[in-house]
């Protein structure tokens, strides 16, 4: 028996969720809903499902095993609550969980009460170098992470053109904090787990776009003392759609991850690991990661940092892991959600060793931190998001 699936919100992401689900051998997409009739009809035709403009009717007329929801950022609450109330046991929700803490708490509480799984598509956890980042940090190969930086910037055409005539209203209901830093805060909670953000100080700028902040730039303090700077812009005139990179500074090593390069950069992932590791240790870690499908080279090399007459480093050998051309794999996480449903676990065989797959509890953590970033920038003051225990 195939899983019966529905999709609510059939725009850029929802249309892709519908075709992804349609391509899965264990799934039958039976119904799709969008308030825009023509969009609903088009996607329904592509995946041979019934089209609805009212998701409440869709939920009444079909008994669904899984519903994917991809409405715009501030409009996640109502379809999620209605889907849970209709008795659907599995929801795949696009990030962010919500744009207000009140909405996030309502959704989290409803999911808990109904014992429903609300998976959240934090797709940036899925690619091979992302899982390598988790592995390296969680196994202490950098010592303790004490500081880091991340930026995730979109081309200015995203907030000015991406949603056609709906663009101004769309981005006016969101911001780079909700749309972009939701990815980054979830990522940091995941790789630095169990640490949580307990203090936020942020700035924003509002000089270019007018209908939404141009950018947010925030300092996050975690309860283990780690401090991290995260920044997301919507006013960059760049060649690509997205620029995305992380740096992690550990007490014994450093990790550099250029996920989507900026001008003059190339993709890359490199962990310069602790001097405590022997070459045999390094090869053992490489073996484990390669078995997990993460293609890495182990390096033992002699860096030679010089500038003019200045020399540093003393000629010692250093050890590192470096990923070969890091690929992006957007649909890995949604595929793992399918496995989680079929195997009835948050750690299916396709997602082992990386903690549980992201659900509403991760969304609640993410939303509290992102809303604290927005509030901090508004008040020009430190804000303390509540921990999620």
Ligand X SMILES: NC(=O)c1ccc[n+]([C@@H]2O[C@H](COP(=O)([O-])OP(=O)(O)OC[C@H]3O[C@@H](n4cnc5c(N)ncnc54)[C@H](O)[C@@H]3O)[C@@H](O)[C@H]2O)c1
Residues at the site binding ligand X, with contacts judged by CB under 6 A: 8-14, 33-36, 39, 55, 70-73, 75, 94-95, 121, 123, 163, 170, 179
Q: Which is nearer to ligand X, 70 or 282 (CB)?
A: 70
Q: How many CB atoms lie within 10 A of CB 95?
A: 25
| Least spacing, CB of residue 45 vs ligand X, in Å | 15
Nearer to ligand X, 56 or 146 (CB): 56
**Residue 187: CB minimum distance to ligand X, A:** 11
Closer Cβ to ligand X, 348 or 363, answer by number: 363
Taking the C-alpha atoms of residue 172 and residue 183, their distance in angstroms, rounded to an integer, is 19
Rounded least distance, CB 285 to ligand X, Å: 29
From the list 51, 38, 44, the residue with the least C-alpha distance to 21 is: 44
- Closest to 367 in 3D by CA, of 85, 175, 191: 175
- What is the distance between the alpha carbons of residues 247 and 228, in angstroms, rounded to a whole number? 9
Q: What angle do CA 379, 246, 186 make, to 5 degrees?
A: 60
Nearer to ligand X, 154 or 217 (CB): 154
| Closest C-alpha to 8, from 63, 61, 60, 51 | 51
Minimum distance from CB of 34 to ligand X (Å)? 4
- Whole-number minimum distance, CB 144 to ligand X, in Å? 29
**Closest residue to ligand X in the complex (CB):** 11
| DSSP secondary structure string for all residues of 317-380 | -EEEEEESSPPP-TTHHHHHHHHHHHHTSSS-TTS-SS-SPPBHHHHHHHHHHHHHHHHHHHHT
Q: Which two tokens stand for residue 183?
A: 């990815």
Q: Which is nearer to ligand X, 241 or 288 (CB)?
A: 241
Shortest CB 182 distance to ligand X, Å: 8
Distances (CA, A) of 323 to 4, 139, 217, 271, 305: 38, 17, 29, 9, 22
Return the number of the residue (12 or 102) whose C-beta is nearest ligand X: 12
Element (H, E) at 28: strand 27-33
Q: Which is nearer to ligand X, 14 or 148 (CB)?
A: 14
User: What is the nearest approach in angstroms of ligand X to the Cβ of residue 164?
Assistant: 9
């Amino acid at each position: 028996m195939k899983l019966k699936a529905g999709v609510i919100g059939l725009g850029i992401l929802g249309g892709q969720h519908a075709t992804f689900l349609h391509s899965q051998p264990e799934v039958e997409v039976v119904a799709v809903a969008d308030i825009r009739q023509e969009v609903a009809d088009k996607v329904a035709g592509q995946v041979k499902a019934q089209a609805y403009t009212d998701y409440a009717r869709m939920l009444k007329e079909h008994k669904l095993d899984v519903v994917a929801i991809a409405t715009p950022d501030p409009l996640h609450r109502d379809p999620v609550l209605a889907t849970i109330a209709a008795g659907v046991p599995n929801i795949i929700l696009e990030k962010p969980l919500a744009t207000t803490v009140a909405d996030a708490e309502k959704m989290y509480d409803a999911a808990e009460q109904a014992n429903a799984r609300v998976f959240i598509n934090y797709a940036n956890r899925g690619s091979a170098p992302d899982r390598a980042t988790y592995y390296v940090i969680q196994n202490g190969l950098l010592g303790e992470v004490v500081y880091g930086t991340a930026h995730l910037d979109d081309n200015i055409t995203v907030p000015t053109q991406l949603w056609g005539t709906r663009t101004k209203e769309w981005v006016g209901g969101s911001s780079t904090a909700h749309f972009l830093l939701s990815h980054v805060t979830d990522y940091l909670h995941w790789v630095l787990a169990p640490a949580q953000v307990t203090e936020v100080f942020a700035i924003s700028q509002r000089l270019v776009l007018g209908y939404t902040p141009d950018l947010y730039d925030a300092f996050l303090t975690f309860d283990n003392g780690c401090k991290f700077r995260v920044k997301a812009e919507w006013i960059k005139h760049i060649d690509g759609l997205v620029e995305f990179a992380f740096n992690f500074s550990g007490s014994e090593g450093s990790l550099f991850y250029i996920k989507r390069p900026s001008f003059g950069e190339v993709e890359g992932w490199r962990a310069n690991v602790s001097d405590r590791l022997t070459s045999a240790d390094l090869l053992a870690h490489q073996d484990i990661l390669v078995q997990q499908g993460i293609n890495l080279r182990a390096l033992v090399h002699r860096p030679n940092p010089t500038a003019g007459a200045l020399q540093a480093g003393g000629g010692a050998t250093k050890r590192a892991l470096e990923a070969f051309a890091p690929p992006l794999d957007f649909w890995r996480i949604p595929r793992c959600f399918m496995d989680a449903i079929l195997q009835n676990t948050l750690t299916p065989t396709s997602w082992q060793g990386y903690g549980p797959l992201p659900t509403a509890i991760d969304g609640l953590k993410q939303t509290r931190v992102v809303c604290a970033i927005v509030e901090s920038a508004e008040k020009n003051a430190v804000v303390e998001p509540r921990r999620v225990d």
